[in-house]
Structure 1
C-alpha cells in the first residue's frame, strides 16, 4: 500500500531542510535568552521562569518535539496509509490525547503550589539565609507558581503540536514543523520589548519582577498556541484531519499508534528526569537555575546544529548495516561517527572553556545582566565545554543500538543514570556549587558512553576500542593546545587593549577562536584521518548552498 504521499525529497534534502530550520530556530532562541538576560539578569523573574517551565517545557519537548514519541508513533503508522485513512486516525488520536492532556492542564493549575514545592524545595529555605535572601526566595516561588498556572495549557498544546508535527512529516512536509518553534521565541521577545518600552529595560522592584514573570509566561504560552495554529492550518489544507471529536478506537491504525506511543512516551520521559534532578538541587543555590539555562543554551545551540548535520546522515547508514555479514562496515561507520564527533566537539569545547568569559559577556552582559552574572554563567560554560564530546558521543552510540533494534539497553542505562545523576549532584554540589551540577551531568554522559561501548563490544563480537581511543586521545591533546592558544590571544587583547567594548570583544573572540581552530586543524591533518576529508567535504557542501 502506498503512503500518504510519495517522498519527493532525498535524505540529504530532508536533512538540509531540518538543519536550516533548526539553525534559524536556535538563533531566535538565543536572541530570546539575550532579551530575558537583559531584562532580568539572574534575578527572581528569570530564576522563577526556569522552575515554572520545567513541567510545561518537559511536556513540550517530550510530546511536541521532533523524534518524540507522538512524532515517531504517528509517522510510522501514517506513512504506510493513504490520505483517506489518515484523517480518521489523526482525529481520533487528537480527541484521545486532548482529553488526557486537558486533565493534566487542570491539575497543573490546581496543584501549582505543591508541585513547585516538589520541583524546587530550596525556595522554601528560611534557615541559614539572610532576611533579604529569604524575601527573594519567597518572591521567586510566588512568581514561579503564577507562571506555572499561566503556562499550564502548554500541556494540551504540546500534544497537539506533536500530532501536527508528525502528520505533516508523514505528508512529506518538513519546513513548517521544523521552523515553527521559533514562534515561541518571537512572542517572548515581543512581550519583553513591550515591557521595556512601558517600564524600562531593567526590572528592579518586586512588582516589576512579578509583572515581568507574567510577561514571560504569557509570551511562552502564546508562542505554543501560535506554533500549533500554523501547523493545524497546514494540516487542514493537506486533508489530514480537522478539529472534530472522533472516537474511532477500533480503527487498526489508531490501535497501532497507541501501542507504539505508550511505551515510547514512558521511555523518552526517563531521559528528561535528569533535568528535573539538576534543578531540584539548583533550588538550594542562589541564581543557579537561570544561570544553568543561560549557559546551557550557549552549548545547546551549536550542539543541536552539529548533531543534525552529523547524526541525520548516519542513521540510515547504521540501519542498513545491521546484518552480521555487514558488521565490519558498521564498525567502521561507528568509528567515523565518533571521530567526526571528536573533530567538531573537542575543539569547540576547548574554545568554550578558554573563552567562556568573553563569550558570555558578548552574548548576555547588558541591561540587568551584570559582570557578576557573567562570571557565574561563565563558570558553568567551562564545565559544559569540557563535556561536549561525551554528550554527542553518547547520542551516536544510542543511535547504533536503535538501528540494531535494541531499545532496551539504552533504556536500562538511562534508568541507572537517573540514580547516578542524583548521587553525583548530591556529591558535587557542596564542593563546587552550581558548576557541580554540570559536572554531574558530564559524569553521567561519560558513564553512559562506557556502558554503551562495552555493550556494543559484546553485541558486535568485538570493537577496536583501543585503536579508536588513541585517535580520539590525540585529538583531545590537540584540543588542549587549541584552548591554550585561544586563551593566550584573549589574554593579550585584554592586557594590551584595556578599554573593552563590544567591537573589541567581538574581534577578540573572532581572532582567538579562528587561530585556535587553525592550530587544531594543523594537528588533525598530521594524524591523516580520513574523517578530516569527510568533514571538510561536508562543510564545503553546506557553504556552496
Structure 2
C-alpha cells in the first residue's frame, strides 16, 4: 500500500498573499465600521463609555483570540511539529481545559463589573459619573466574550498550523458587519435625536450587544472550518497530563503572561485618560486614531509575522541557527522597508487622513484635530511596534516565553513613568508617545537577549540599513507634507474631494521619493519586498 503524499506546504510568499488579501478585506470592513461609529457617536458619552467598558473584553480578544497572540502562537508552535491526525484530540483537550477556566472568568467579570470599571478608570467617578454608569452596564453585557475569545485563539492557531489562513484573517469582519448593522438601524430609528442625553444609555447597550454578537458569529464560523479540516469539535476531553497538552502549556503560559503585561500597559494608559478634563473624548480619540494606524499595520503585520512564525519554529536546532539569524534579519528589515516610509507619510498627512475618513455627521473639525494629533504619535512608532513583535516570535519559536515576559514586567514600570511624564506635557498624544518609548526599550532588550541566546544575532548588520531607510523615510515624509500644503493652498476649500486629492498626490510623492532613495541603498530586503508586491499586482 502506498503512503499518501502529504499536502504541499504553502510558500512564505503564498501565505503572505493569502493573509494580506484576507486581512485587507477584514480591515476595510473594520474601517467602515469605525466611520459609521464616528458619524453616529463622534467623541461623545456612549462611545467614550464603550471604550472603557470594552477594555476588558478587548483584552481577551486581543490577548487570547488574536492572531499572533499567545494561544495562537502556542498552538502553531506545537501542532506544526506533529502529525495532522493528532490535532483533533489536542485541540479538544486544550479547549476543554482553557474553556473551564474562562467560564469562571466570564462569570467573575459580570458580577464584579462596577469594581472592574473603578480599577480601569478611577477618574470617571469624579470627572464623568454618567460615563461610568453606562460603562458598567456595557461590561456586563460583554462578559461572555472571555470564553469565546479563548476558543477563537485556540482555533486560529490550529487552522494556521493546518495551512489554513483565509478564515482566521477575514473572520473579524463578521463583528464589523454586526456593529454597523446594529448602529445603522439605531441611527435610522432615532435620526436627529441621537444627540439627546437619553440616547447615550440606549446607544451604549446597542454597542455592547453588537460587540458580543459579532464575537459569537466569528467563533461559529471558525468552528465550521475546524470541523472541515478535521481539527476536532466542541467536545469535552479532559487530558491535562497528555504530553502535547503540556507542551502547549509550556509555551502558552509564559506567552500569556508576557502578552498580558503588554495589555496591562493599555490599562495604564486608560487609567491616565480617565483623569483628563474630558475623558470620554480622550479615550475616543485614542480609539479612532488607533484604528487608522492599525489598518495598514495589521495588514503588513500579518503578511510578515504569520509566514515567519512557522519558519522560525523549524529552525530552532543549533545546526540551523545560521539560517535563523538570516531570517530574523530579513524579518526586521522587511518591517523597516514597509513601516518606516508608511509611518513618515502618515505622520505628515495625519490631518487630511482623519478629516477624509471621519469628518461627517456629529464628527466635527475639533474632533478631527484631536484625533489627528494622536494619529501622528501612532505613526511615529509603527516600525518599533512591529519589529518588537518579530523578535518576540523568535523567542516563542525557541520555546522561551520567559524572556519576553520578564521584559514586559519591567516595561510596566517604564510605561507608567512615561505616561506620567508625557501626558502632562502633551495631553492625549503623550499616551501614545509613552507606548512608543516602551516599545523602543523592549526592542533593545529583546535584541540584547537574543544576541546572547543565538551566540550572536548579527544586529550590527541591521543598524546601517535601518538608519538609511529611516533617512529615506524622513525625506519622503517631508515631501508629502510640502506637497500637501501646496495642494491645500491651491484648492482653497476643505471637503472630501480636496482631502482625497491631498492624500493621493502627496502620499504618492512621498513614497516615490522614499523608493528612489531606498533603491540606491542596495539593501536586499528592499528588492525582496518590492518583488512580492509587484508579483501580487501581476497575479491580480
Distance 1:352 1:52 in 2: 29
Structure 1 partner of 2:417: 423
Q: How does 1:231-242 map to 2 (within 5 A)?
A: 231-242=222-233
Q: After superposition, give the CA deviation of every residue in 1:102-130 in whole Å (9 maximum; x if it has no partner).
A: 222221111111110000111012xxxxx
Distance 1:82 1:315 in 2: 18
Q: How does 1:143-542 map to 2 (within 5 A)?
A: 143-200=134-191, 203-249=194-240, 251-258=242-249, 260-285=251-276, 286=278, 287-316=281-310, 318=312, 330-462=324-456, 465=459, 468-542=462-536
Gaps of 5+ in 2: none
Distance 2:244 2:415 in 1: 39
Q: After superposition, give the CA deviation of every residue in 1:244-269 in whole Å (9 maximum; x if it has no partner).
A: 44445565555554555444433332
The 3 A distance-change label for structure 1 pair 255 and 397 is closer
Structure 2 partner of 1:42: 43
Structure 2 partner of 1:18: 19
Shift of 1:454: 2.8
For the residue of structure 2 that corresponds to 1:511, the secondary structure is helix
1:5 and 1:172 in contact (8 A); partners too: no
Structure 1 stretch displaced more, 157-166 or 487-496: 157-166
Q: After superposition, give the CA deviation of every residue in 1:335-355 in whole Å (9 maximum; x if it has no partner).
A: 443333222222111111111
Give TM-score, length-normalised by structure 2. 0.91
Distance 1:257 1:407 in 2: 12
The 3 A distance-change label for structure 1 pair 103 and 245 is same
Shift of 1:448: 1.7
1:39 and 1:201 in contact (8 A); partners too: no
Structure 1 stretch displaced more, 490-499 or 248-257: 248-257
Structure 1 stretch displaced more, 25-34 or 396-405: 396-405
Distance 1:379 1:367 in 2: 21
Q: After superposition, give the CA deviation of every residue in 1:266-310 in whole Å (9 maximum; x if it has no partner).
A: 333222211111111111122111111111111111111112223
Distance 1:317 1:240 in 2: 22
Q: After superposition, give the CA deviation of every residue in 1:26-78 in whole Å (9 maximum; x if it has no partner).
A: 11111111111111111111111111111111111222222333334445555
Shift of 1:325: 6.4
The 3 A distance-change label for structure 1 pair 161 and 466 is closer
Give the number of equivalent residue pairs. 533
Shift of 1:333: 4.2
The 3 A distance-change label for structure 1 pair 87 and 284 is same
For the residue of structure 2 that corresponds to 1:194, the secondary structure is helix
Computed over aligned residues only, the root mean square deviation of the Cα atoms, in angstroms, reads 2.7
Gaps of 5+ in 1: 126-133
Distance 2:314 2:92 in 1: 34
Structure 1 stretch displaced more, 302-311 or 353-362: 302-311
Distance 2:178 2:392 in 1: 35
Give TM-score, length-normalised by structure 1. 0.90
The 3 A distance-change label for structure 1 pair 228 and 322 is closer
2:254 and 2:405 in contact (8 A); partners too: no
Structure 2 partner of 1:128: none
Distance 1:325 1:159 in 2: 36
Q: After superposition, give the CA deviation of every residue in 1:459-489 in whole Å (9 maximum; x if it has no partner).
A: 4555665564333223222222212211111
Distance 2:24 2:124 in 1: 35
